[in-house]
Structure 1
Amino acid sequence: MTSKPNHNQSDTPEDLGRRKLFKLSAVAAGLAATGGAAAWVGGRIQGVPFDGGFPMPVDEALLKPFSQRNWIFSQGGSEKNWAQFPERDTAFAELIGEPGWSFRDGMFAASDYTRPPEQWDDSKPGYQQIDWALFCAASHPLEYLGKMAKFGQPDAPGICGWQQKNLAPVQWKFSSRQDAATRIKRAASLFGATRVGITYNDPRWNYEPMYNIMESKEVSWEEYPFKPKTVIVMLHEMDYDGIRTSPAATSVGAVNKAYTDMALVAGSLADFIRRLGYQAVASHNDSINKVAYGIMAGLGEGARNGALVAPGLGPRVRISAVLTDLDFVEYDKPRNFGIMEFCRHCKLCADRCPSKAITFDDEPSYQPTFEGADNPDLAWHGQKGVLKYYNDAKKCYKFWADNNVACTNCIKSCPWNKPDFWHHRLIDASNTFTRGPIHSFMREMDSLFGYGNMDVAKAHKLFWHKEV
């Protein structure tokens, strides 16, 4: 007599997957109940400190400071760039098979501060009037806090400007380097930062030259008000339920709220440091490679999707910084959280990228491998020379233009992007020593449990009807 399977014939693959995950969770619960397990999990989630500078391998022959003129927002938002490099439009249009497409048709044809009724679609969840209202209102304060800051404008008008306002004539003396770090982080936390790390200025990760998108001109560090010595890096969490509505306008409401937080928090912290007698400037999306500095400050690791992935938050963060001449401060160390190793096997972000901008390469490389990467007219990718995964920003930007709003699918789909449940943190902790087969299993469980693949209509309903 054959035994019956321990499930109903009507069970879906999702039901079976969840049951497997519950079994895994039960085993993990037994582990967590044993003596010392909580301390083990906490220690692993904090990562393994790395001594010796930047933790990712670099090719010094390829690694050069990044020209911000080559950034996708500089190309897309500067009419002077369009006029000076028309071959970029032509080459890109040929690559995507749409002759005649131009950056003039891109995202900057629409404003972040207003979207007219002809762009509303009340029959389409996520693109309704209420969603566009959320999108615009969340970024509206940037008109006053830092105009064009989210598009990389250096010396943005507002509290992200370079003026050394309220610089005290006397410098506060900290009792120790650790005392300085503790007090700075406490102030940043009070102002609203989700996490804070402190590292030293490394010119390799500074844009050179910077690019003033409002005036379409290059800006040198010789024009900066002082020589930065320290970089204070802050993470700003984006709303989990909002991001789940990607690629709809509702999700970018969550993004724009974080952009507003970046300006407010970094601007406040820079002002705090100036009032202690040290020069400081708030950096929004401008001036420096925020992912590299976030890695240096021990806040996370680089990931396949090109973002910083922070334990417990995943890539669901935006990054701001304060550059200062204060250097009497304890610096944080980079840490290994097992994220890059996980990215080798996961590829969920690449699977769910609507523009296929994210690479499926099995191994990281020192320079881009996507089609057209060796064409200087198309070389607007990120900084070369770091062993990482390189993605095609042009394809990403093209989808944004077609969608009429940015996309965060690569954030939404990431298995590290989770609410703070204990079994997720246990899995996060295991990543410093688990390998490929376990990572692949975790990827499938994440999908079957329904975290990273929720459809827009359902996510939209959950977002607007969540009890608060």
Structure 2
Amino acid sequence: MTTEKDNNSTDAPADPSRRKMFRLSAVAAGIAAVGGAGTFISHRVEGVPFEGGFPMPIDDKVLKPFNQRNWIFSQGGSERNRAEFPNRDKAFSELIGEEDWSFQDGMFAASDYTRSPEQWDNARPGYQQIDWALFCAASHPLEYLGKMAKFGMPDAPGICGWPQKNLAPVKWQFASKKEAATKIKRAAKLFGATRVGITYNDPRWNYEPMYNIFESKEVSWDEYPFKPKTVIVMLHEMDYDAIRTSPSPASVGAVNKGYTDMAVKAGSLADFIRRLGYKAIASHNDSINKVAYGIMAGLGEGARNGALVAPGLGPRVRISAVITDFDFVEYDKPRNFGIMEFCEHCKLCADRCPSKAITFDDKPGFKPTYEGADNPDLAWAGQIGVKKFYNDAKKCFKFWADNTVACTNCIKACPWNKPDFWHHRLIDASNTFTKGPVHTFMKDMDTLFGYGDMDVAKATKLFWNKED
């Protein structure tokens, strides 16, 4: 017998997912009430300026400039490195249980832009000929603009080279530092940068030595054409729908487009600065720690997955920079967006990392905790001494090799990566004042709405059939 109470019950629905949605909706409403008006939310999204240098705690006894010989591409691509550090390959082979696994072979298997028909799998969405075509074509301009810069080569031939072409004999004079910052950022936006920040040169975040993997030689800053004073940092947004197809070649098509953007836009801005009479060099994957400089320039925060996370974009960005001797400019300040605190409770990127390279540590620390971290032959990939989350880049790269192409699952999974839907902007707006339990609810909300957990076939179909 059905009663009126049964038909009009106010009890929570039986479906657990619906119960969770109602609970999250209630939390969201509470956060919105706390947030107040749109101007307040906008202020929160902009972040809280940090006074006093680098915003993340540093162990000065440990932190040193990063030796680019310890970069994973340097180990994988340099015959000199492999000859002088053979135990690195050996130790990692033992760790993963594959005898004689080669970083060099893995590097080129994952990064080669020429894919033969043998690698097409037309029965597998995301890995079909059309997906590989996208992957290759997106990086095609780098063949002419400077492919080697993508692999970290300092003074790479092309648009990121060190020659001071078009350097004007007369220096343009700005009326104020603020005007200089405004006009430089305006030029960068015209050239296509998604966001721009300006900060001072800090030698702690400059590779020392730099390393040319193609010629297997170290490069010192004493060889640089000028003394760096300012770093202009640019973010380049990657296509959301393409990233959602990760770990397919289509997703890395978005990454390769980002690499092309880095060269074109940083190269254009460096040329602009030189035509104003100041020395400038476009930096791609070479020379400096761009995540650190992005943090200094107020563009985002470091995150669990090791990337820069920018509000409204998440880690779905590539970062380029222009290094210059021009310093009559207003510098941006680092900002607290609540991202690191959110990462402590979220862990979605770690959950969805296919190689388990991303740490599940509850709190950031000053050194890595992954397996083998105390072995110098297994703990050579990152810059330690900063309080952050440390991940095992070697395991990440091993999956790239097995997948025959790079992976962006940690970007795809991140709640900050998502399009401009209300509950994601709610996350952005509230993170500077909400704490752990609410962050956990926000993570659940992201999963409940179906973001970041889509299978490759479905995501690939949506990508190729989307109409603007």
* TM-score of the two chains, using structure 1 as the length reference: 0.96
The alignment partner of 1:199 has SS state of strand
Report Cα offsets for 1:224-276 as digits up to 9, x if no partner: 11010000000000000000000111100000001100000000000000000
Residues 64 and 383 in structure 2, CA contact (< 8 A), matched pair in contact too = yes
**Contact conserved, 2:296 with 2:334, CA < 8 A, in 1?**
yes
Find the residue that maps to 1:381 and give its secondary structure: coil
**In the alignment, structure 1 residue 328 sits paired with structure 2 residue 318:** no
Maintained 8 Å contact 2:301/2:308: yes
Q: Deviations over 1:341-381 (max 9, x none)?
A: 11111111111100000001111111111111121112222
Query: Does structure 1 conserve the Cα–Cα contact (< 8 Å) formed by 2:171 and 2:277?
Result: yes
Question: Corresponding residue for 1:232?
Answer: 232
Pair 1:427 & 2:427 matched: yes
Aligned to 2:62: 62
Confirm or deny: 8 A CA contact 1:131 1:250 kept in the other structure: yes
SS in 2 for 1:106: helix
Contact 1:346 1:439 in 2 (8 A): yes
Q: Deviations over 1:407-464 (max 9, x none)?
A: 0001000111110123321221110011110001111111111101111111000000
Q: What letter is aligned with 1:103? A: F
1:367 counterpart = 2:361: no
Structural mapping, 1:283-362, within 5 Å: 283-362=283-362
**Take 2:333 and 2:61, find their aligned partners in 1: how far apart are those partners?**
25
Matches within 5 A, 1:425-464: 425-464=425-464
Instruction: Give a deviation string over 1:24-47, Cα, whole Å, max 9, x none.
Output: 556667778x6xx11100000000
**1:167-316 alignment, distance < 5 Å:** 167-316=167-316
What secondary structure, in the 3-state scheme, does the structure 2 residue paired with 1:313 have? coil
- Give the equivalent residue in structure 2 for 1:42: 42
Amino acid aligned to 1:56: M
1:154 is displaced (CA, Å) by 1.1
> Does the CA contact (< 8 Å) of 1:107 and 1:405 recur in 2?
no
Rounded to whole Å, the distance in 1 between the matches of 2:26 and 2:125 is: 36
Alpha-carbon separation, structure 1, partners of 2:102 and 2:58: 34
Query: After TM superposition, what 4+ stretches of structure 1 lie above 3 angstroms from structure 2?
Result: 1-9, 13-32, 109-112
1:352, 1:410 within 8 Å by CA — same for their partners in 2?
Answer: yes
CA distance in 1, matches of 2:329, 2:373: 41
Secondary structure at the aligned position of 1:215 is classed as: coil
Q: Secondary structure at the match of 2:427?
A: helix
Give the deviation of 1:76 after TM superposition. Answer: 1.1
**What secondary structure sits across from 2:76 in the alignment?**
helix
For residues 139 and 260 of structure 1, what CA distance do their matches in structure 2 show? 6
Separation in structure 1 between the aligned mates of residue 309 and residue 228 of structure 2, nearest angstrom = 26
Unaligned runs of 5+ in 2: none
Would you say the 8 A contact 1:107–1:404 is kept in 2? no
Amino acid at match of 1:409: N
Indicate yes or no: 2:77 matched with 1:77: yes
Distance 1:73 1:395 in 2: 13
Looking at structure 1, the residues matched to 194 and 148 of structure 2 have their Cα atoms a distance apart, in angstroms, of: 23
Deviations 1:77-114 (A, max 9, x none): 22222222221111000011112211233021465331
TM-score, reference length from structure 2: 0.96
Q: Distance in 1 between matches of 2:381 and 2:433?
A: 32
Give the letter for the 2:229 counterpart.
Answer: K
Deviation at 1:183, TM superposition (A): 0.3
Indicate whether 1:121 and 2:112 are aligned: no
Q: Does 1:467 align with 2:459?
A: no
| Contact 2:106/2:398 (<8 A) preserved | yes
Q: What letter is aligned with 1:116?
A: S
> How many angstroms does 1:278 deviate by?
0.1
Number of residue pairs the alignment of both structures matches: 463
Please say if residues 66 and 206 of structure 1, whose CA atoms lie closer than 8 Å, have aligned partners that are also in contact.
Answer: yes
Distance, in Å, in 1 between the alignment partners of 2:169 and 2:422 is 49
Whether the 8 Å contact between 1:42 and 1:429 is mirrored in structure 2 is: yes
Q: Deviations over 1:285-305 (max 9, x none)?
A: 110000000000000000000
- Cα pair 2:110 2:403 within 8 Å, conserved: no
Query: Structure 1 vs Structure 2: percent identity of aligned residues?
Result: 79
CA contact (8 A) 2:24 2:441 kept: no
> Which residue number in structure 2 is paired with residue 409 of structure 1?
409
Q: Does the CA contact (< 8 Å) of 2:72 and 2:394 recur in 1?
A: yes
- Tell me the amino acid that sits aligned with residue 328 of structure 1: F
> 1:183 is matched by which residue type in structure 2?
K
What is the CA-CA distance between 1:388 and the residue it aligns to?
A: 0.4
Q: Does 1:152 align with 2:135?
A: no
How far residue 20 of structure 1 moved from its aligned partner, in angstroms, is: 4.5
Residues 54 and 334 of structure 1 are in contact (CA less than 8 Å); yes or no, is this contact kept in structure 2? Answer: yes
